[in-house]
């Protein structure tokens, strides 16, 4: 389930750290999003003999386990307040708030936020930023986004049936774009004429899509080097501070002007 951009980042980190004589090992452990990962984490960390960890897609329980056992780590994402681990992530609340503002300025009032079910702190912040936007008539809608495409289609259908005036969707993950486009095409809808679309993330495959998608993205090279500096400080026993990255919006052709209903 890792996005193309994440895989590219991991590859780049591996190549750079080779210069420091540090090798990177990748462990696929989807259970770290579960509620009781302690025993598996203890076994994994003991066997691995790694000097520090980068935690992708980690639950609050997983972060607390690393915090309690004082294992050097960086959350590639946003850490929970309870763990207070150092992290590097996009400023999701600011990003979704800006997306709401952007669509509002284009005349959209009822807008859906497609949010996956994973218990990630970043997802909570996305929802917070989107729903905290306050303008008269603003009507944010939460659209659950399970990984199973047929079920995602069901939630989209329910959302549009309940809110027929919904004129735009915000995809929180790039892997939501293709299912959304498929659902729209199956209903003979047009983007952006009948439905506008914004993605909070960028994935390379989006370059081949028409219309071009409006998306948010930070400078990936700078972000990777920030993470490398954090890792080098961590392995040297230094204290490190968390970093929240503010992305830029790259306008495409997937958002149109929309006349608000009277």
Mean pLDDT, residues 133-158 = 95
pLDDT band at 5 (very low <50, low <70, confident <90, very high): confident
Residues 32 and 67 in one domain: yes
| Beta bridge mates, 222 | none
In this structure, the answer to whether residues 96 and 207 fall within a common structural domain is yes
pLDDT: which is higher, 6 or 87: 87
pLDDT of residue 1: 62
Number of H helices, E strands in the chain: 8, 10
CB < 8 Å & 24+ apart, contacts of 76-79: 76/227, 77/120, 77/121, 77/122, 78/120, 78/121, 78/122, 78/125, 78/244, 79/121, 79/242
User: Can you tell me the mean pLDDT for 173-182?
Assistant: 93
pLDDT of residue 6: 85
pLDDT tens per residue across span 93-109:
999 999 999 999 999 99
Q: What is the pLDDT of residue 257?
A: 93
CB 196 within 8 A of CB 224: no
Cα(156)–Cα(162) distance, integer angstroms: 10
Q: Quick check: is 254 in a domain?
A: no
Q: Which domain holds residue 70?
A: 4-89+219-246
106 and 78 within one domain: no
- 211 and 108 in one domain? yes
pLDDT at 262 over 60: no
What integer pLDDT is reported at residue 144 of this predicted model?
95
Q: Please name every residue paired with 245 in a beta bridge, in sequence order, or none if there are none.
A: 90
Co-location of 225 and 210 in the same domain: no
Same domain (yes/no): 97, 213: yes
Nearest to 169 by CA among 115, 111, 245, 227: 111
Same domain, 141 and 63: no
Beta bridge partners of 141: 112
Q: Looking at the structure, do residues 113 and 26 belong to the same domain, yes or no?
A: no
In the predicted structure, residue 170 carries a pLDDT above the cut 80: yes
Instruction: Write out the DSSP string of 43-63.
Output: HHHHHH--S-EEEES--HHHH
The per-residue pLDDT for 36 is: 87
pLDDT of 233 strictly over 90: yes
pLDDT value of residue 157: 96
Q: Is the peptide bond prior to 245 cis by the omega test (within 30 degrees of 0)?
A: no
Separation between Cα atoms, residue 117 and residue 209, nearest integer Å: 26
How many domains in the chain? 2
- The string of pLDDT tens digits covering residues 23-72 is 899 998 888 887 789 999 999 999 998 999 999 989 999 999 999 999 99
CB 213 within 8 A of CB 233: no
pTM: 0.92
Domain with 73 in it: what CATH number?
A: 3.40.50.2300
């Amino acid at each position: 389930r890792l996005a193309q951009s994440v895989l590219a980042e991991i590859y780049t980190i591996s190549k750079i750290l080779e210069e420091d004589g540090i090798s990177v090992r990748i462990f696929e452990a989807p259970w770290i999003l579960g509620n009781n990962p302690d025993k598996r984490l203890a076994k994994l960390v003991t066997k691995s003999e790694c000097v520090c960890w980068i935690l992708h897609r980690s639950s609050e329980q997983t972060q607390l386990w690393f915090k309690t056992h004082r294992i050097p780590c960086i959350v590639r994402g946003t850490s929970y307040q309870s763990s207070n681990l150092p992290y590097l992530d996009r400023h999701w609340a600011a990003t979704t708030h800006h997306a709401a503002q952007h669509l509002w300025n284009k005349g959209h009032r009822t807008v859906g936020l497609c949010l996956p079910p994973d218990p990630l702190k970043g997802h909570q912040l996305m929802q917070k930023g989107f729903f905290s936007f306050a303008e008269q008539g603003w009507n944010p809608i939460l659209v659950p986004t399970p990984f199973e495409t047929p079920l995602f289609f069901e939630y989209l259908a329910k959302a549009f049936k309940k809110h027929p005036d919904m004129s735009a969707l915000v995809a929180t993950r790039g892997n939501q774009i293709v299912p959304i486009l498929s659902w729209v095409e199956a209903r003979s809808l047009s983007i952006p004429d009948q439905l506008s679309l914004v993605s909070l993330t960028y994935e390379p495959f989006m370059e081949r899509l028409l219309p071009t998608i409006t998306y948010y993205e930070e400078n990936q090279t700078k972000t990777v080097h920030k993470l490398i500096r954090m890792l080098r400080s961590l392995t040297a026993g230094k204290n490190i501070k968390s970093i929240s990255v503010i992305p830029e919006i790259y306008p495409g052709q997937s958002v149109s002007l929309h006349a608000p209903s009277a």
